[in-house]
Structure 1
Amino acid sequence: MRTEIVNLLKKENKLSDKTADELKNLEITDFAHIVKEIGKEKTEYLNSEEIQTDLDTEYVGKNLYIYKEVSSTNTVAKFLSKNNAENGTVVISEKQTGAKGRSGKSWESPLGGVWLSIIVNPIVDYSKLPLITLATGVAVAKTLERVGVENPEIKWPNDIMINGKKVCGILTEAVTKFNRIESVIIGVGIDANLNVTDFPEELQSGTTTLKEELHKEGNENLLIKIFFEEFEKINELFNSKEYEAILKEWRKRSYSIGKIVEVREPFNTYYDAYVLGISKEGALVVEKIDGTLEKVISGECIIKN
């Protein structure tokens, strides 16, 4: 994280090479105010005033930092979370150069997408973290419905699909101290005003964008505003421990339930199974070929044709 924050400061001409070298003997937190100042500067494509005007939330997006380019919004959000960022603070970047998805996979983030991270401070234990990802998926799906997408679906655990192709990914990370969750960083990447050809060739067949699905460019500022509103609604359900209400919304939009999948769990454990549903903990419930039932807590499920 230290290196990425230093690189951001240098890119914005806030540090000379000499000062950057001197940072080795200083606490990087001493520069938190500069990182925040950069996030308040005017950017070319996104407009904080347009996002926040008439924003119908109590806390999500009220504190907003927008950057022209960062390596990863999750990294900047983690840094800010360690420097007194308020609950609901959001970090957005017009472009990411080193973003990662689940299992360390690279995440393409060119201009035209919505790349953001939300800082929340839930009082939860680790067992509830998967439900935060599922809740965020519901918020994204509802956002897409509000901008005209018909039947967006959620692929367990963290992808949003349109007509069988991925349009959004979610990465949830906990910030801990003394084995206690201090905050949770929720990274969301939506392929908005992009063409599929903007992505590497190997990703194009399984990827779509809002621009291609809706046959027009949309207003990214409006899309972000709507997402903030939907996320706060679902986050309040989470904070109120109304987990079944979240799961009910998730199940209605599930892309995974009822399909044959290849389950890829950690440590190279692969097997085929039929997806039965989702447990109250957010685990995927599957039936293996031999008839045994399993709960998939982490890993990946590849839909089989």
Structure 2
Amino acid sequence: MRIEIIKLLKKEGKLSDETINELKEININDFHHIVKEIGAKPTEHIKASEISKDLNTKWAGRNLYVFNEVSSTNTVAKFLAKNGAENGTVVLSEKQTDARGRSGKAWEAPLGGIWLSIIVKPNVDYSKLPMITIATGVAVAKAIERAGIQNAEIKWPNDIMLNGKKVCGILTEAVTQYNHIESVIIGVGIDANININEFPEELQEGTTTIAEELGRTEDENLLIRYFLEEFEKISTLFTEEKFEEILKEWRKRSYSIGKIVEVREPFSKFYDAYVVGIGKEGALIVEKIDGTLEKVISGECIIKN
């Protein structure tokens, strides 16, 4: 994180080479106010003023920082979270140069997409983190539905699908101290108005965009506002521990239930299974070939043809 923040400050002309050489003796956290200043500068495509206009939330997105380009919005959000950023603070960037998804996979994040991270302070333990990802997926799907696409589906644990192709990914990370979760960073990347041909060839076949599905471009600022409003609504259910209501919305849009998948859990052998459903804590329930039921808490489930 330290290196990425230094690169951002240098790129924006806020640090000289001489100052960088002295940073070993300087606490990088002292520069958090400068990072906020950079995020408050006018940008060309993603505009805080357009997002905030008519935004119907009490806390989600009430503090917005928009950058022209960062390595990763999650990195900047973690930095701000460690330096007192309020619940609901949102970090956006028009481009990301080093975006990462689950398991450290590279994530293409060019101009035309929605790349944001939201800081939440839910006061929960680690067992509830999967449910945060589940709830965020529902919020993204509902935002897409408000944009006029009614077939958004959620592929466990963190992808939003349209007509069998990925349009969004979610990455949830905890900021901890002394085994206590201080805040949670939720990264959301939506392929809004990107030209698919800009993606590497190996990604093009399985990827779609909001513009491609609508047959026209969509206002990125409006779509961000939709997401923030839906996120706050679903977060209220989470806070009130109405998990079954969240899961009901997820199940209605499930891309995974009823499919044969290859389960890839960390530090475990891969195995094929049939997706039965989702448990109350957000784990996927699968039936293995021998008929036993298994809870998949983390990892990937690759849909098999």
TM value normalised by structure 1: 0.99
Give the % identical residues.
Answer: 73
CA distance in 1, matches of 2:24, 2:274: 53
Q: SS at the partner of 2:37? A: helix
Aligned equivalent of 1:233: 233
Partner in structure 2 of residue 254 of structure 1: 254
Q: Is 1:13–2:13 an aligned residue pair? A: yes
Confirm or deny that 1:280 pairs with 2:280: yes
Q: How does 1:106-121 map to 2 (within 5 A)?
A: 106-121=106-121
Query: Within the alignment, does 1:270 sit opposite 2:270 as a pair?
Result: yes
1:1-305 equivalences under 5 Å are 1-305=1-305
- Match of 1:95, SS state, is strand
Q: Which moved more, 1:124-133 or 1:41-50?
A: 41-50
Gapped regions of structure 2 (runs ≥ 5): none
Counterpart CA distance in 1 for 2:167 and 2:21 is: 41
Report how far residue 63 of structure 1 moved. Answer: 0.3
Instruction: Output one character per residue of 1:1-59: Cα deviation in whole Å (capped at 9) or x when no partner.
Output: 00000000001111111111111210001111100000000011111111101110000
Deviation of 1:274 after TM superposition, in Å, equals 0.4
Distance in 2 between residues matched to 1:304 and 1:77, nearest whole Å: 35
AA matched with 1:132: I
Secondary structure of the 1:94 match is: strand
Distance 1:281 1:236 in 2: 17
Q: Which amino acid aligns with 1:208?
A: T
Distance (Å, rounded) in 1 between the aligned partners of 2:179 and 2:150: 42
Distance (Å, rounded) in 1 between the aligned partners of 2:274 and 2:153: 18
Question: 1:246-296 CA deviation, whole Å, 9 max, x = no partner?
Answer: 001000000000000011111251011000000001000000111111000
Q: Which amino acid aligns with 1:200?
A: P
Tell which deviates more after alignment, 100-109 or 267-276. 267-276
2: CA distance between counterparts of 1:155 and 1:173?
19
Query: What is the distance in 2 between the residues matched to 1:93 and 1:149?
Result: 24
Aligned-residue CA RMSD (Å): 0.6
Aligned partners of 1:205 and 1:294: how far apart in 2?
Answer: 31
For the residues of structure 1 that align with 2:33 and 2:266, how far apart are their CA atoms? 39
SS at match of 1:217: coil
Name the SS of the counterpart of 1:68 in structure 2: strand
Count of aligned pairs:
305
Distance in 2 of aligned mates of 1:217 and 1:166: 17
- Alpha-carbon displacement from aligned partner over 1:130-164 (angstroms, at most 9, x marks no partner): 00000000000000000011210000000000000
How far is 1:166 from its partner? 0.2
Q: Secondary structure at the match of 1:59?
A: coil
